[in-house]
Structure 1
Amino acid sequence: MGPPSSFRAVYKMIDDQEIDVDVYLPQPQAIATNGVINIHGGAFMLGSSDMVNKDQVQDCLDRGWIVLAPNHRLCPQVDLYDGPMRDCRDLLNWVYSGDLQDVVSSIPDGPYPLDLDHVFAFGTSSGGTLALSLGFGVPQPVAGIFDMYGPCNFSNAFWTTELPQVAAKLPPGLTEKFINQVYTEKPVPTRGGVSLEGQAPGAPNFSDPRQAFAFTQIARGTVLKAIYPKGDLDRIDPVRNISASFPPTLIVHGTEDDMVPISLSRDLYRELQKCGVKCGMEEVPEEGHTFAAKMKVGSRTWELQRRGFDFLEGLVRGK
């Protein structure tokens, strides 16, 4: 059995640029279908919808869910709030407004009646942050969130800390003039280089200014400055936006993560608990950042992360 197939839909136009989403459909069925928005990682500067884990997509399809893997505009030409967050929120509005239903209703294999009471968000790394952003600052939040090691608590000192393990990968001779070519790309790209999730073959290509720029910011501890120079953390930080009405949330994080420390997710988990939000956290032993790219179906890691989708399914069943 090969990887699941998808088709492309445009959920947004901005300055004549199409912003699109990969739509994966489950086997045809005559019952209400849940939707899950599956957002790729890449430090908000890299990656694309192609790079989501296809085994996870298949797991959702096997549950009878429609899976939406969106592209979004990449930083730094647009900042985190006006680019990736706005695009993902516009996608959610596209779903709630009935546009997704119109698209899938035209599929000959239907029907695919969409249950708008159970639209979920899921994401890995920066995609986890974007999934969490669909729980606040929107007219109608998602019904549940599965966050895999998403960056948060941006006031923590970690976000200005240099990462020598990343700096060691950078080749000598990278200049500011070279890496800053990312600011001249037109239109603002929605697909960029490798994914930090590791799904693209090979090592980072540092002859590509975008990849060189992103890894340089990570190494220097300047990612937040690059993607959100405005600095108003109340607008973007999930930890600062938790309330009693925040959607049920499950967090999965590797205990050996040195790119987004697990302590940041623990901070988020404590805030969720303090506000009385239905929530859970799975700490995956011996796994570092981006383990979603490498895990094998049936492994201990696979079964632990899968509890995130079980958590969402339980919300449909009222558990």
Structure 2
Amino acid sequence: MAPSYFRAVYKVVDGHEIDVDVYLPQVATSTPKKNAGHPIIINIHGGAFMLGSSEMVNKNQVQDCLDRGFIVLAPNHRLCPGVDLLDGPMRDCRDCLDWIHNGGLHRAVSSETSDPYPLDLGQVFAFGTSSGGTLALGLGFEVPHPVAGIYDMYGPCNFSDAFWTSEVSQVAVKLPPGLTEDFINQVYAEKPVPIRGGVSLEGQAPGAPNFSEPRQAFAFTQIARGSVFKAIYPAEDWAKVDPLRNISPSFPPTFIVHGTEDVMVPIGLSQELYSALVKNGVECGMEEVPGEGHTFAAKMEVGSRTWELQRKGFDFLESLVKRV
């Protein structure tokens, strides 16, 4: 049975609410720190910054975190291209982090339950898959309260790499004929900018893409053409959004998991990120998952080898809590 949650609003933009799903562990669950509050993990969905929603996070991973005593937050964010990467998804996730530190989560939890849920605001972590991994990394720089640790599951980085302007043939062959620019560009007229859209590109939602829906057709077309970042961040000021360009000795401890057969986000990009972390003396780790592609988060079975390998990321975050 999927874990239960309640929904809270962490931000309002032009009168439109942006929400977050809040999962609470059992009150009886012992927290990693004696006599302290629950640590918090922000779990950000994938979808190439253009698709997906909070409902699409892997519920088995959520339950794993709950069993460890974490409060889990799965935020929605505005989807590109109606807003760009920096001012939309990245800004929203950073505002969710601010909402936590400014008492928003405490108020939301207090209004939903009579049980005590003390929060440890010194132990807020971030986790994300695919584009969510990038957004999780974005909570480690240019924020007032960087997260205490990050688990990045095959998130894009190094946005100036030639890969990001190269055609992805495996996606191109799946595009149906007859997708016109007028049809796919309907996404630019969506008001308000949506916070939920279609399938999750990194595999957290079942079902094939629906190319009769402009947003899904737009996203897959950009991936196929190698024009994702041109579509979502035309300014190309990579220093503001690229995690690789923002690694420093003060960057939060980070763990990376990536499949060796990933063609949507090549593992070499994560290897570059890991090398930068090591070079800067950041506490870090990386697990390369044999034989897995970009969508393995959806297909992995609890107890499988892949499941156990990716759990090392949560082990890493939990170890950061226990040492404090």
How does the TM-score come out when normalised to structure 2?
0.97
1:169 equivalent to 2:174? Answer yes
Whole-Å Cα distance in 2 between the matches of residues 98 and 309 of structure 1?
Answer: 25
**Residue equivalent to 1:23:** 22
Whole-Å Cα distance in 2 between the matches of residues 207 and 200 of structure 1?
Answer: 18
Once the two structures are superposed, residues 118-150 of structure 1 have per-residue CA deviations (whole angstroms, 9 ceiling, x without a partner) of: 100000000000000000010110000000000
% identical equivalent positions: 76
Superposition pairs of residues 23-102 of structure 1, within 5 angstroms: 23-29=22-28, 31-102=36-107
**Residue equivalent to 1:7:** 6
Aligned length: 318
Q: 1:262, CA displacement in angstroms?
A: 0.2
What SS does the corresponding residue of 2:150 show, helix, strand or coil? strand
- In structure 2, the gaps of 5 or more residues are 29-34
Contact 1:39 1:122 in 2 (8 A): yes
How does the TM-score come out when normalised to structure 1?
0.98
Q: 1:166, CA displacement in angstroms?
A: 0.2
Contact 2:204 2:297 in 1 (8 A): no
Q: 1:109, CA displacement in angstroms?
A: 4.5
- In structure 1, the gaps of 5 or more residues are none
Q: 1:106, CA displacement in angstroms?
A: 2.9
The structure 1 residue matched to 2:193, chosen from 169, 188, 195, is 188
| Partner AA of 2:102 in structure 1 | S
Contact 2:147 2:252 in 1 (8 A): yes
Whole-Å Cα distance in 1 between the matches of residues 78 and 309 of structure 2?
Answer: 31
Once the two structures are superposed, residues 10-29 of structure 1 have per-residue CA deviations (whole angstroms, 9 ceiling, x without a partner) of: 00001000000000000014
What SS does the corresponding residue of 1:106 show, helix, strand or coil? helix
Q: 1:104, CA displacement in angstroms?
A: 1.1
Contact 1:104 1:110 in 2 (8 A): no
Contact 2:127 2:152 in 1 (8 A): yes
Whole-Å Cα distance in 2 between the matches of residues 63 and 16 of structure 1?
Answer: 37
Give every structure 1 segment of 4 or more consecutive aligned residues whose post-TM-superposition deviation is greater than 4 Å: none
Backbone CA RMSD of aligned residues: 1.0
Whole-Å Cα distance in 2 between the matches of residues 101 and 125 of structure 1?
Answer: 29
| Partner AA of 2:50 in structure 1 | M
Whole-Å Cα distance in 1 between the matches of residues 164 and 146 of structure 2?
Answer: 27
Contact 2:204 2:295 in 1 (8 A): no
Contact 2:157 2:244 in 1 (8 A): yes
1:128 equivalent to 2:105? Answer no
Whole-Å Cα distance in 2 between the matches of residues 7 and 79 of structure 1?
Answer: 28
Whole-Å Cα distance in 2 between the matches of residues 83 and 92 of structure 1?
Answer: 14
Contact 1:251 1:265 in 2 (8 A): yes
1:272 equivalent to 2:272? Answer no
Q: 1:107, CA displacement in angstroms?
A: 3.4
